[in-house]
A and B are shown apart, each in its own frame.
Chain A
Amino acid sequence: MGKKEMSTYHRPFPNTWWLKRKPYVLFMIRELTSVFVAGYCIFLLVFVYKLTQGADVYGNFIDALKSPSSVALHFIALAFVLYHTITWFNLTPKILVLYKGEERIPQGLVAGMFYAGWVVVSVIVALFVLGM
């Protein structure tokens, strides 16, 4: 452009940027929840594996799960997984933009479909578990 390069000041962007504002903190928590989601998937795989190892191994595993530290860990994981689910469900209308003619389908309705699906699946799982 034939323009003389102007000296500019580049402000530092510290690693603690996400602590500066609440929306960034909430975003970071959402990112962190993925660790718990992945961890719980691994746990479920181990669970299935133990199931294949016979009644004794499985029984011991179940007993170990009843320890207070294991129960506490499950509650922590539950909290993070709920946070993960709710924040992502709330973001679905951004990704799934639906129109009926000229009118956009309300964002709440789109998210609502996911919540409804979640309730249905949860009820089915609950019936299955309780019916055993």
Chain B
Amino acid sequence: MAETMKLEIFRYHPEKDNEPTFQTYEVPFLEDWVILDAINYIKDEIDGTLSYRWSCQMGVCGSCGMMINGVPKLSCAVFLKDYYPDKIRVEPLTGFPVERDLIFQMDDFMTKLTEIQPYIIRNKDEEKPLDEGEYLQTPAELARFKPYSMCINCMLCYAACPVYALDSTFIGPAAIALGQRYNMDSRDHGRDARQELIASHEGIWECTFVGECSAVCPKDVDPAAAIQRAKVSSTIDWFKDVLIPWGKKK
């Protein structure tokens, strides 16, 4: 075999192991292979018991997130050659309980996503009948929230967040960014409904602005910015409530 590379992979079998171990595999080194290609090679050619998630292989489905040498990355979007000839350490995303090998439990994230009410909420009396057509929006109004709508739910931002790892009650970057995505949508009236959760103790105020969520995000969603902006608008709310109680809601 020509050149090879070593991958050191986190292994854990829930029915056999009390503790995880690391297993090293040697794979061919190919210039155009991403790490996911190497892992697929291991699964197909060396060890069929290795478990992990993947689907699209093109940075769209968000299911192949792994810790690559301690940094959360989409394994289909990083090339072996960027690490050659060193050994690559592959682990499940930090901050989540491990189910088996590289598969972690994402139930907590899924619950938080639904709790944030990520859909357009209209005031009861302002809901248009279907035959009146869609709610129109200008390109400028779209531009305000568009980056926040690019999230692929890959959870890399959670894996980069020490606050979430230390206290998993934190709603976390992607869910808050998604809340902001709807809060900033000109067609939406649901901000008050979301605010209870977003401005709660488990919400934005847990964030200490480490900023790594935005650094690792493969879609430039910039969840750190979403959280800081939500802090600013919540603070403005507070001032309005306290200083001008009569000017509360428009």
Q: A9-B20, A94-B222, A97-B229 are in contact. Are A17 and B165 (CB under 8 A)?
A: yes
Q: When A95-B228, A95-B229 are in contact, do A8 and B212 touch as well, CB less than 8 Å? A: no
Q: Are A99 and B144 in contact (CB under 8 A)?
A: yes
B16-52 interface code vs A (CB 8 A; 1 in, 0 out): 0101100000000000000000000000000000000
The answer, yes or no, to whether B211 is at the interface (CB within 8 Å) is yes
Is residue B98 contacting chain A, with contact meaning CB distance below 8 A?
yes
Residue of A nearest to B160 (CB): A23
Q: Find the B residue at minimum CB distance from A13.
A: B165
Question: Which of chain A's residues have a CB closer than 8 A to the CB of B222?
Answer: 94
B215 at the interface (CB under 8 A from A): yes
Minimal beta-carbon separation of A18 from chain B (angstroms): 7
Give, as a whole number of angstroms, the nearest-CB distance from A113 to chain B: 17
| Bound CA–CA A88/B28 (angstroms) | 45
Majority SS at the chain A contact face: mixed
Alpha-carbon distance A121/B99, docked complex (angstroms): 56
Residues of B within 8 A of A20 (CB): 70
Which residues of A are found within 8 Å of B165, using beta-carbon distances?
13, 17
B141, closest chain A residue (CB): A102
The answer to whether A23 touches B94, judged by C-beta atoms less than 8 angstroms apart, is no
Q: Does B97 contact A (CB under 8 A)?
A: yes
Q: What is the CB-to-nearest-CB distance from A67 to chain B, in angstroms, rounded to a whole number?
A: 36
Complex contacts, B209 vs chain A, CB 8 Å: 91
- Known contacts A24-B210, A27-B210, A94-B224; is-contact A102 B139 (Cβ 8 Å): yes
Also in contact, A9 and B143, with CB within 8 A (given A21-B70, A24-B212): no
* B125-162 near A? 1/0 per residue, CB < 8 Å: 00000000000000110111000000000000000001
Size class of the A contact interface (CB-based, 8 Å):
20 to 34
Q: With contacts A8-B97, A95-B225, A101-B140 known, is A21 near B71, CB below 8 A?
A: yes
Q: Whole-angstrom distance between the alpha carbons of A20 and B89 in the complex?
A: 14
CA A91 – CA B95 in complex, angstroms? 25
In the complex, what residues of A have CB within 8 A of residue B166's CB?
13
Query: Chain A contacts of B214 at CB under 8 A?
Result: 94
Q: Which residues of B contact A27 (CB under 8 A)?
A: 210-212
Contacts of A7 in B (CB 8 A): 14-15
CB within 8 Å of B: which of A11-36? 11, 13, 17-18, 20-21, 23-24, 27, 31
Can you list 22 contacts pairing A with B, beta carbon distance less than 8 Å?
A6-B99, A7-B15, A8-B97, A8-B98, A9-B19, A9-B98, A11-B94, A11-B98, A13-B94, A13-B162, A17-B165, A20-B70, A24-B212, A27-B210, A91-B209, A94-B214, A94-B222, A95-B225, A95-B228, A101-B143, A102-B139, A102-B143
Q: Which residues of B are interface residues toward A (Cβ below 8 A)?
A: 12, 14-15, 17, 19-20, 70-71, 94-95, 97-99, 105, 139-140, 142-144, 162, 165-166, 208-212, 214-215, 222, 224-225, 228-229, 231-232
Give A contacts to B, CB under 8 Å. Answer: 6-11, 13, 17-18, 20-21, 23-24, 27, 31, 91, 94-95, 97, 99, 101-104
